[in-house]
Amino acid sequence: MAKFDQPKHSRQIRDLLRLIAVVAVVLLAAAGTLFFVRNFDAMVRIFTASDPAAEMDRFLDGNRLLGVVVLFGLQVIQILLAFIPGGPMQMVAGALYGGLGGGLILLAGAATASLLIWRMVSVLGQAAIEAFHNREDAGKLHRLKALHDPRRAEALVWILFLIPGVPKDLLTYFAPLTPLKCRRFIVISTIARCPGIFMTTFASSSLLEGDWWLSAVFYLVMFALALFGGWFYRRLHREGGEDGKKEQ
């Protein structure tokens, strides 16, 4: 495992990555605002129609391929920038392309983003992690003994990516500094993302189709799992902090 306390590149690289992220967010916000303004009437018709799903199909007619490309790109950017929440993206994907289709697009984007992050961290090292994540939180992950052993590290990745509500972006950035292999990490993390992503896309799809009860069940299950995930993640961080104190 690479040593976390020895960054490969300077503060200037970290600041440059942050500047690129800020510019990307500004451009995305501008593009989103322009899209909303230009399609305001269509959005109103969708959410006020007696059959929102059918109205959504009419809106997408002739633009489905472009929509897939845009959604895929946004998912990649969301994971790369780390601080953009992924929940709204999953809801939009389910509403636009259904529970299965929307989920598959997001999984493809997540796998692509994970590969890009792996390559970036492999080249830039700690600077890439610190550009988007708190050094102290990453340090706690580094001090976890499980991440020093390939098999235990794989098991921890399965658990963290499987539970909704656990911040997965930090581990995605940190994974290249562990004994994990790139291909295995991408396969494991992508498969483990399935329950959380598909529950959200199917929940939003069911809501758009008027199946309120099914949507409520999905959201309740996700809420319960997110509470557990938050508790588990805090406990994991406390463990990392305690391990660090013992080593000092």
Beta strands in 14-143, from DSSP E residues, in sequence order: none
How many Å apart are CA 69 and CA 195, to the nearest integer?
A: 23
240: confidence class by pLDDT, cuts 50, 70, 90 = low
Percent of the chain past pLDDT 90, that is, above it, reads 13
Please give the full DSSP string across the chain, using - where no structure is assigned: ---TTS-SS-HHHHHHHHHHHHHHHHHHHHHHHHHHHHTHHHHHHHHHSSSHHHHHHHHHTT-HHHHHHHHHHHHHHHHHHSSS-SHHHHHHHHHHHHHHHHHHHHHHHHHHHHHHHHHHHHHHTHHHHHTTS-HHHHHHHHH-GGGGSHHHHHHHHHHHHHSTTS--HHHHHHGGGSS--HHHHHHHHHHHHHHHHHHHHHHHHHHHTT-HHHHHHHHHHHHHHHHHHHHHHHHHHHHHHHHHHHH-
Report the pLDDT value the prediction gives residue 62, as an integer from 0 to 100. Answer: 63
Residue 168 has pLDDT above 80, yes or no: yes
Tell whether the model's pLDDT for residue 8 goes beyond 50.
no
Selected residue with higher pLDDT from 179 and 139: 179
Please report the pLDDT score of residue 182 as a whole number: 92
Best mean pLDDT range from 21-25, 119-123, 222-226: 119-123
Question: Do 112 and 76 contact (CB within 8 A), yes or no?
Answer: yes
Contact yes or no for 141/174 (Cβ under 8 A): yes
Higher-confidence residue of 171 and 86: namely: 171
In Å, how far are 112, 139, 232, 236, 242 from 6, measured between CA atoms?
27, 12, 29, 23, 21
Secondary-structure breakdown of the chain: helix, strand, coil percentages, each rounded to the nearest 5: 85, 0, 15
- The predicted pLDDT at position 119 comes to 92
Give the type of residue at 151.
Answer: R
> What would the pLDDT profile of 139-157 be if each residue is shown by its tens digit?
777 777 777 787 788 888 8
pLDDT for the residue 1: 47
Q: What is the pLDDT of residues 53-109, one digit of tens each?
A: 677 777 777 677 777 888 898 889 888 887 777 777 888 888 888 889 999 999 999
Measured CA to CA, the distance from residue 163 to residue 175 in angstroms comes to: 17
**Residue 10: what pLDDT?**
61
Is the pLDDT reported for residue 47 higher than 60? yes
Read off the pLDDT of each residue in 233-243 and give the average, rounded to a whole number: 60
Q: Are 115 and 76 in contact (CB under 8 A)?
A: no
| pLDDT, position 239 | 58
Which single residue is written with the structure tokens 């409520």?
216
Mean per-residue pLDDT for 233-247? 57
